[in-house]
Amino acid sequence: MKIRIVIFLAFLSVFTWSSTTAQEKTKINQLDALLIQGEYNEVVSNCLNILQTDTLNAEIYYKLGLAYQNLMQNDKTVEAFSKAVKLAPDNKKYMHTLAKHYYNSGKHKLALPILDSLCAHDSLNWMYSFYLSDIYMQKGLFNKALPIYQRFHNNDTTNTLYLDKLAFCNLRMENDSIAIKLFEKSLSINSKNIPSLKNLSYLYFKNKQIDTAIYQLNRGLKIDSTDADLYYRRADIYFQQNYHYRARPDYFKVLKYGDTTKLVLKRIGIGLAYNNQPNDALGYLLKAYQKDSSDFEISGYLGQTYYKLKEYKKSIKYYNRVLKLISPILKQHVLTNTLIGDGYKDSCLYNEAIKYYSKSMDINYSGAICMTIANIYDEKLKNTGKAIKYYQLFLNNLDKNEFVFPPEYLENVRNRLNWLTKKNITK
């Protein structure tokens, strides 16, 4: 009799468990159907009802997170996904979904440890590695991204995706020769890979192989003659080589495709000005000026163009504009050279200090800097001839000094100059 009771209870237990599991699967299937149909609010409502009596159900929290994600309720999404991960810490699906949400929300610092953990358990899962390596790339940690791409490349040496990623890492790490070899290998597998052609062109141009750089862009244009970026890159190379007549048709192409940025208009205008076409240049330069009146180069070319057209008042106007725009730059240039000179002087590197003080003086005479140079030659370097030169320069330009020096100070300078001059004569 007892044996029959035990068997019955065991059967009842199995039946109850099977029934519960079946109900659980039904609920999950219903939620999945609602998610597919886009009934996200209903999914949220159903999940919250289930969680009132089943607070430890990780899958329900996961479905709730998916619904919140589609409703763009970020805080609730993170809370739901995090709860699912906490309840089922070994579930890679939950971890990956949370990491992706952090990644897409720009919270790379939070995504990084999760992705790192996933990759540690499955180093050849490209989806995990893609997000992890991309975060490294965005942070400029190319040395960390490189071994990830290398691992996948070793496993599939003909996959151009891995080759291109490896090549780009090396490009950013300035391993130019390695990057070139990898991009060339990628193109030998897929000759129509335009991004690789662009990167290869950049590398050849950087290494002063101009014709080869142009050749790569020409290859790209044979594949896609509507790619405005290819025209822009080729125009940029021609322009930097002062081949304005070659750059101009490409810039016109870029303009035709809708790129009316200041740089394009400016360079077309400069090219026409160089080609002695002032009337044509004027239209483009004025449009560029309207976009950015703070670009002193545009004002300079406008001044030059109006001068060629004998419109001298307008020419003077734009040249004055150049002076106004570069004045703060010159002041900063003077100040920076002076500060560098101070740094070398205080480090007892006197010749270097004089070099930078002199650069400052070349831009704008300063009595104080002139005296600093004179004192270094006199007291530190014991160069009497140079000290005399700068003491004399100071006394000859008293009217140019930035402030009035006391009479006693000037008298001391004259006395020192006279003494050094007599000493120099007696040698």
> DSSP readout, 21-57?
HHHHHHHHHHHHHHHHHT-HHHHHHHHHHHHHH-TT-
Query: What ranges do the domains of the chain cover?
Result: 1-112
Q: Which residue blocks in 71-141 are alpha helix, DSSP H?
A: 74-87, 92-104, 108-121, 126-138
Residues 6+ apart with CB under 8 A from 143: 173
* Residue 424 to residue 383: CA distance in whole angstroms: 10
Angstrom distances, CA of residue 411 to CA of 207, 395, 399, 417: 59, 10, 16, 10
How does DSSP classify residue 405? P
Determine the pLDDT at residue 310: 95
Determine the pLDDT at residue 329: 87
Q: Encoding tokens for residue 410? A: 């000037």
Spans of the chain below 70 pLDDT: 1-24, 426-427
DSSP E strands in 207-272: the ranges are: none
Which residue in 201, 207, 149, 197 sits closest to 175, CA to CA? 207
Identity of residue 303: G
* Residue 39 to residue 44: CA distance in whole angstroms: 9
How does DSSP classify residue 190? -
Which residue in 222, 209, 216 sits closest to 195, CA to CA? 216
Convert the pLDDT of each residue in 32-48 to its tens digit.
Answer: 899 999 999 999 999 99
Q: Encoding tokens for residue 347? A: 């480090």
Q: Which residue has the tokens 């141009």?
A: 205
How does DSSP classify residue 378? I
Q: Which residue has the tokens 């030998």?
A: 188
* Residue 240 to residue 231: CA distance in whole angstroms: 14
Determine the pLDDT at residue 53: 87
- The angle that helices 384-396 and 407-426 make with each other, rounded to 10 degrees, is 140
How does DSSP classify residue 311? -
* Residue 187 to residue 196: CA distance in whole angstroms: 7
**Dihedrals phi, psi of 226, to nearest 5 degrees:** -105, 5
* Residue 104 to residue 78: CA distance in whole angstroms: 12
Which 3 state secondary structure label does DSSP give 236?
Answer: helix
Q: How many CB atoms lie within 10 A of CB 214?
A: 19
* Residue 314 to residue 30: CA distance in whole angstroms: 76
**Dihedrals phi, psi of 320, to nearest 5 degrees:** -65, -35
* Residue 411 to residue 419: CA distance in whole angstroms: 12
Global pTM?
Answer: 0.74
Determine the pLDDT at residue 41: 95
Select 1-112's CATH number: 1.10.760.10, 3.40.309.10, 1.25.40.10, 1.20.1250.20: 1.25.40.10
Sign of CA dihedral 253, 257, 263, 268: positive
